[in-house]
Structure 1
Amino acid sequence: MTWSSALKDTARAGLTIEKASLEPLVALRGACGVAIVIGLTLWLGTPRLAVSSAFGAFASGLATFQRSWRPRPVLALAVAVGLAFSTFVGYMAIADHVLFVVLLALWTLLAGMAWAIGPVSGMVSSQMVAVMLFTVTLPTSVLGALHHAGLIAFGGLVQAALIVVFPIRPWGRQRDALADALAAEADYARRLRHDPVATFDPQPLMDARSAAAMTPRQARRRPGQLGGPRGLAERLRPVLASLADPVLGAPPEGPERDRVRELLGAAAAVLDAVAHAVRWGRPVKVSPEVMAALDVPETRAVLTGAAQRSALRLMVLLADVVESADERVESTRPTAPEERRHLLRPSVPRLVPVGLRALRREARWSSAIGRHAVRVTAVVSLGYALGSMLPLGHGYWAPMTSVMVMRPDFAQTYSRGVARFAGTVVGVWLAGGLMALFHPGMYVCAGLAVLCIGLMYLLMRTGYSVASTCIAAYVVFLLGIAGEGWSQTVWARLALTLLGGLLALAAYAVFPAWETLRLRDRLADWLDANGRYALAVLARYAHPDVRKPRRVREALLDQRAARLEWEEAVARAEKEPVRHRGISRRAERAAESAMAMMGRATMLMEAHLPDSDAPPSPGAEAFAAALRDALPDAAAAVRERRRPDWTAPHEAYAAWRAAVGEEGVAVRATELLLDAVDELADAVAPRRRREAPGRSTA
């Protein structure tokens, strides 16, 4: 993609206004928190203190709207404490401009590295830098600095108290995540009726797993409906795929295929009913016709072989899903020991060592997050210096704009930069026009600021340009409380916002971290994770008596994480103005299709794992050994632009097939797996050498 096309696409993305589900009651509650803080501070304090405290309430409320599974009061309090500490430290250093610039650079570097912990941590850390830049411009003493920090913390306390006193749909986000996962399974079952090899995006299941992780205190309060269906939905996916598969399941046409379509339709109806029940906290309602379709026919069974086993397992799992979701809504139950061991979310204090490990992992020059931290630090420091030298006043707006729009990837930074400037233009001119026409008083400005922040909370998911418009107007009205002139506010804000945005955009062009150049590494990581997943499943066939269920599960989770990283990398690379280096767009799509097929073949094997009393499979053990030996070199070949060599796995499979024949789920699924890795080799091989060594082209 050329620079002109990339800039045009990112600008269009930044200015796009999307339809989104609105939460008016939640937005009203957050706006009330800001109103309470501003009102009390104006009544008991001064306008300048009201301006300072309002940012604490605003930022704490904003954090509760982020995609995080932690309790909303905890988020509000954690953000408020961080903002208060940041503000106090900034006040201690502002007397010496050199010391403050050094502190600002250090704070920004840490904020940039916070993206290694997660997007919520990165966003909150960026807010800490922005609030410190704004509040320290309000003159005060050391005692006043403590006072300001306390007021900012008070804003978070008010927001947390409102969430506790006025709960709105408790556990709503967790319910939505689980319901979305069940609905995705239902949609998958419906698509399998017409496309037996339909693909499935595991993202809803990954989100549901993230939502299921909780602290011990949350586990004691969790509704019973959220405790069981997720694990059953995970087990349903391979069963659905195995039942519909034309190779391992029923034939493509005939009575057996008709029965499979009937079962898949009934499964979709049941999963939709369970998703609706979980989302709204109601009992499960399934029609008698659907339940009748899931009964074993009284006459001769239509399905045979592997398809019959999949159908019987599907009926059992669906019955368990309905039973687990059809509990009394008000009941709670403790987390099962197995879930507690693997889905425990660390508390905020225990999150510190986890965060430190993430920071150490990304503290390297080749890391996109590490380069982002260096980039944003340089931009904010330069922006602060330039803003202070310009005779516009409010010089902090330039670095504040930069830190709020800059992200670790190109597309988000550029789209947010365009959206920020456009929203600022609209918001500042609207608010400045109202200030010029009506000259509102202090309390009217406070009311208008609260109205703007309420609109921002309500509309923030429709697009960053809309949120920027509301924030720009909010800042103008806040400064109106403190007696700032509206005309100076308008022109200074526009000029410095433009300066900060241009610095952010130029920095990414001068010091980029292109995802396109790392696509082969991401693909190799996905291949390695796919291979380890296949090895874990094959180990169960080789030694059925060795029961290690967590090994397969953990390998599957690693495979999903690697797939997600690849998909996110591809999405970012498609928007970058960089010609492909090492893998073309066509090869990228072919490789992705091959890797998805490899994962699907392994999933089909997982759907028919042998019982513990089944005889061992020497062929599976020999093939697993050959695959294990070939996997590291194959991943290295993908990275180094060589053709992966799968000769040894092919020979092991040929010996296995000669010994047992073509019957058996594992043998047939292994053939699909080898077809997938051969397609991968064709996709990533250099153009001048396309034929696989040792393979017939007849």
Structure 2
Amino acid sequence: MTWLRALKETTRSGLAVERKRLEPLIALRGAAGLAVVIGVSLTLFGPAVAASSAFGAFQAAIATFQRSWRPRPELALASGTSLAISTFLGYLTGSHTLLFLALLCLWTFLSGLSWAAGPTVGIIASSNVAIMLVTVTLPGSVAAAAGHAAMMVVGGAVQAALVVLFPVRRWGAHRDALADALAAEADYARRLRHDPLADFDPEPLMAARDAATVTPRQARTRPAELHGARGLAERIRPVLASLADPAVGVPEEGPERDRVREILAAAGAILDAAARAIRHGEPVEIPPGAAATLKTPDTGAILTGPAQRAAKRLAALLRDVVETAGKPPTEAAPPGRASGRPPGRAPAATPLLRPTFPALLPAALRAMRAELRQRNGSPITRHAVRVTAVAATGYLVGTWLPLGHGYWAPMASVMVMRPDFSQTYSRAVARFGGTLVGVALATGIVQLAHPGTGPSAVLAVLCAGMMYLLMRTGQVAAQACVAAYVVFLLGMGGEQWTQTVPERVVLTLSGGVLAMIAYAVYPAWETPRLRNRLADWLVADGRYAAAVVDRYADPAGKACPDVRGMLLAARDARVTWQEAAARAKHEPVRHRGLSRAAAADAEDALAQLGRVAMLMEAHLPDRDATPVPAAARLAETLRASTEEGAKAVRERRVPKWDAVRAALDDWDAEGVTDLPDRVVRRGARLLLTTLDELSDALDTAPPPMLVDGTETGAQKTTRTESGPRDPEDPTIR
């Protein structure tokens, strides 16, 4: 993508306003907390302290809107406290330019590194640094600075108290995450009716797992319907895929396929009903037709083998989902047992615990240290260096220019800069566009109405409430509200609009331009890293497939790797690749060895590799099943070959899979007539097919030269040996 096109795309993204579901009650709660803090501060301490406390309450409310599964009161308290510490230390050094600049660099560098602990921590830390640049100018003495800092803590505490006293859709985000996972599987079941090889994006399941990881305090109060259903959803997905797939299920056409389509449609309806019930906290209402389909007794007469086993497992899992979502056991749709558990007993769920807030600090420090130790600099480290340099430069430029209020330039830079190109540039455009709109509106109101302290405070609260309401619809709308909020808030302290508006526009533009130049000069492009991301995904998928195959070799699983752990690692690698590919799509750099078409084909191949492993996982043998010794050799070969293949991908070579092919040929020579079914053998051949498809996707060399219209013997031999094999080969039993 050229620079011109990249700038055009990021500009369009920054100025876009999306249609999102608004949350007026939550916005009203945040605005009410801000109003309480401003009102009390104005009454007791005056406009200057009120402005500081308002910034603390304002930022604390923003923290509660971030996408985080932690308790919202904790986020508000952490935000208010960290802003208070930043402001107090900033004031102590504010009278000495070099000392304050050193503190600003240290604080900004740490805030940049804090993205290693997650986007929520990164956003809160960056916002605190930006707001600190304003609040350090408000106190007049050390004692006043301590008082301002204390009021910022109070502002955060007020917002936290309101979250506790007036909960709005408590556990709503967790309900939505689990409901979205079930709804995604319902959609997957319906798509499998028409496309047995349909792909499934695991992101909803990953989000549900993240939401299910709770603190010990949350675990004690979590609603019963949020227990266990996520684990059931995880187990349903491979069963759905194995039921629909022709390689391990039923033929593509015929009465068996018709029956499978009916079961998939019923499963989709039941999963949708469970999703609605969990989202709204209501009892499950199962469509009668879906329940009747799953209760039909002729399923065993139509389906046989792996398909029949998958249908039975699906029925039992759907029953558990309905019971977990709140349906009385006597009204659950499909009868049956799952894993030997009596019907009517909800599945036990061990809570996934996340560290408490005090325990989060050591984990964050370890993540930051790991980023610093990466060779050639990680994107997070480069972001920290970049934002530090820009903040220091912006502060010096703002101080040097004869405009006053020089903090607007570094404030704008810190607010817009992100570790990736697209977000930085789009936010810079949105910041400036929103600032123009917000300042223009606020200026017009000030010129026409000349509000005093009280009316300015009311207008500031209204602007903050509008920002809370619209912040999810796009950056430009949020930034317009923030610009007007700051103008009214500073006007509450007696500053005239002529003292703040002109320089804010010029310095905001300067800060945004500095941020954009910094990324162009010292970038962290994702495009050159795509091959490494792809290689990591290949290794993760290979280990997952090997763990599944190993379980066939040793059904008791005494020395086998954890299949579940390998699956989660493969999902993480896939999402990392997808996020990297999405960022690289908008970068103005060349592909450097991996074209967009090759990347898309390679992604499809690795998605199919994970899908085949998932099909085999759906039919893992019981612990007392007959071991398959040849599967152990194949599993070890898969691990070694995918690691070697990943090395080839990183070195821009086409991976070869001769060792995997040889292991399968040896397996064929031994004979497989004693295996209980065809799943493991067919799955092994499908694994090789997907690996060959990956090599084909990465083989971007020109076609072979022709001699008298035919390929040379060496070329033909090479092409034949590296090509995929038919999964319906007669050697597959």
How many angstroms apart in 1 are the aligned matches of 2:350 and 2:660? 36
For 1:685, the equivalent position in structure 2 comes to 699
The alignment partner of 1:484 has SS state of coil
The code of the aligned residue for 1:611 comes to D
Task: Identify if the C-alpha distance between structure 1 residues 345 and 496 changes in structure 2 by more than 3 Å, giving closer, same or farther.
Answer: same
Runs of at least 4 residues off by over 4 Å:
335-338, 547-550, 688-693
301-310 vs 424-433, greater mean Cα deviation? 301-310
For 1:108, the equivalent position in structure 2 comes to 108
Q: Is the 8 A contact 1:224 1:327 kept in 2?
A: no
1:548 positional shift: 7.6
For 1:232, the equivalent position in structure 2 comes to 232
Task: Identify if the C-alpha distance between structure 1 residues 697 and 629 changes in structure 2 by more than 3 Å, giving closer, same or farther.
Answer: closer
For 2:730, the equivalent position in structure 1 comes to none
Q: Is the 8 A contact 2:692 2:724 kept in 1?
A: no
Q: Is the 8 A contact 2:324 2:347 kept in 1?
A: no
For 2:358, the equivalent position in structure 1 comes to 349
Task: Identify if the C-alpha distance between structure 1 residues 336 and 246 changes in structure 2 by more than 3 Å, giving closer, same or farther.
Answer: closer
Q: Is the 8 A contact 2:139 2:148 kept in 1?
A: no
Residue 612 of structure 1 pairs with residue 623 of structure 2: yes
Alignment match of 2:510 (pick from 476, 482, 499): 499
1:550 positional shift: 7.8
How many angstroms apart in 2 are the aligned matches of 1:274 and 1:610? 29
1:327 positional shift: 6.0
How many angstroms apart in 1 are the aligned matches of 2:22 and 2:230? 26
How many angstroms apart in 2 are the aligned matches of 1:336 and 1:274? 16
1:630 positional shift: 1.6
For 1:594, the equivalent position in structure 2 comes to 605
How many angstroms apart in 2 are the aligned matches of 1:547 and 1:76? 47
Task: Identify if the C-alpha distance between structure 1 residues 337 and 187 changes in structure 2 by more than 3 Å, giving closer, same or farther.
Answer: closer
Between the two proteins, what is the percent identity of the paired residues?
Answer: 60
1:31 positional shift: 0.2
Residue 132 of structure 1 pairs with residue 132 of structure 2: yes
The alignment partner of 2:350 has SS state of helix
Task: Identify if the C-alpha distance between structure 1 residues 298 and 683 changes in structure 2 by more than 3 Å, giving closer, same or farther.
Answer: closer
The code of the aligned residue for 1:246 comes to P
For 2:637, the equivalent position in structure 1 comes to 626
The within-5 A match list for 1:35-54 is 35-54=35-54
How many angstroms apart in 2 are the aligned matches of 1:197 and 1:231? 23
For each residue in 1:529-558, what CA deviation from the matched residue of structure 2 results, as whole angstroms up to 9, or x when unmatched?
Answer: 001101111111000022589811110000
For 1:475, the equivalent position in structure 2 comes to 486
The alignment partner of 1:301 has SS state of helix
How many angstroms apart in 2 are the aligned matches of 1:428 and 1:110? 31
The within-5 A match list for 1:23-62 is 23-62=23-62
Q: Is the 8 A contact 1:225 1:327 kept in 2?
A: no
Alignment match of 1:675 (pick from 679, 684, 689): 689
1:582 positional shift: 1.4
How many angstroms apart in 2 are the aligned matches of 1:20 and 1:225? 27
1:685 positional shift: 3.1
For each residue in 1:388-435, what CA deviation from the matched residue of structure 2 results, as whole angstroms up to 9, or x when unmatched?
Answer: 111111100000000000000000000000000000000001001110
Task: Identify if the C-alpha distance between structure 1 residues 696 and 89 changes in structure 2 by more than 3 Å, giving closer, same or farther.
Answer: closer
How many angstroms apart in 2 are the aligned matches of 1:193 and 1:583? 34
Alignment match of 1:423 (pick from 421, 434, 437): 434
How many angstroms apart in 1 are the aligned matches of 2:166 and 2:220? 21
Task: Identify if the C-alpha distance between structure 1 residues 164 and 338 changes in structure 2 by more than 3 Å, giving closer, same or farther.
Answer: closer
1:92 positional shift: 1.1
The within-5 A match list for 1:645-660 is 645-658=656-669, 659-660=671-672
For 2:495, the equivalent position in structure 1 comes to 484
The code of the aligned residue for 1:350 comes to A
How many angstroms apart in 1 are the aligned matches of 2:398 and 2:14? 25
How many angstroms apart in 2 are the aligned matches of 1:47 and 1:288? 64
- TM-score when normalising by structure 2: 0.92
The code of the aligned residue for 1:644 comes to P
Residue 377 of structure 1 pairs with residue 388 of structure 2: yes
How many angstroms apart in 2 are the aligned matches of 1:87 and 1:98? 17
How many angstroms apart in 2 are the aligned matches of 1:539 and 1:368? 36
The within-5 A match list for 1:272-671 is 272-298=272-298, 301-326=301-326, 339-340=350-351, 343-363=352-372, 364=374, 365-546=376-557, 551-658=562-669, 659-660=671-672, 664-671=678-685
Q: Is the 8 A contact 1:623 1:653 kept in 2?
A: yes
For each residue in 1:593-618, what CA deviation from the matched residue of structure 2 results, as whole angstroms up to 9, or x when unmatched?
Answer: 10001000000000000011111101
Matched positions, count: 690
Q: Is the 8 A contact 1:641 1:685 kept in 2?
A: no
For each residue in 1:166-187, what CA deviation from the matched residue of structure 2 results, as whole angstroms up to 9, or x when unmatched?
Answer: 1111111100000000000000
The code of the aligned residue for 2:490 comes to L
Q: Is the 8 A contact 1:547 1:612 kept in 2?
A: no
Unaligned ranges ≥5, structure 2: 329-345, 705-717, 726-733
- TM-score when normalising by structure 1: 0.97
The alignment partner of 1:462 has SS state of coil
The code of the aligned residue for 1:534 comes to A
Unaligned ranges ≥5, structure 1: 329-334
The code of the aligned residue for 1:427 comes to G
